[in-house]
Amino acid sequence: MQSIEEALDKLSHSKFRSSFHLTKKEKEYLREKGNDVIEAHARDLVRKKLSPADPLNDGKQTPMRGHPVFKAMHATACCCRGCLNKWYKVPLHRELSDVQEEKIVRLLMAWIEKEEDR
């Protein structure tokens, strides 16, 4: 199992994944809401959009903009079950475990925190 740092490094070599960055407005939103609220949003979005064995509209369920977590999901290849399978070997058609959900949330938050410093 790769670490968060290893995953972020691997993602940084992808032209598509490394093209995502938080805007000034998104960074202001993060500061305004605080990490606890953003993490709660990430947890909720992971549960709704990724955890089901066969998410509704899989592959198209995560918008590209509208919330910093959406952007983080695309930047970290946690936007759909297909990307989770391709990048992290998460099995398709099987509900995510609590441990898998937690790992995804930790990765999303690490990317967000790294972007805040950028």
Tens digits of residue pLDDT in 29-85 = 999 999 999 999 999 999 999 999 999 888 888 888 889 999 999 999 999 999 999
CA 17 to chain centre: 11
Structural domain boundaries enclosing 26: 4-116
Q: Could you read off the pLDDT of 61-71 as tens digits, one per residue?
A: 888 888 999 99
Find where tokens 């899989």 sit. 58
Classify residue 55 by its DSSP letter.
-
How many structural domains is the chain composed of? 1
Contacts (Cβ under 8 Å, ≥6 apart) of 62? 45, 49, 70, 73, 74, 79, 80
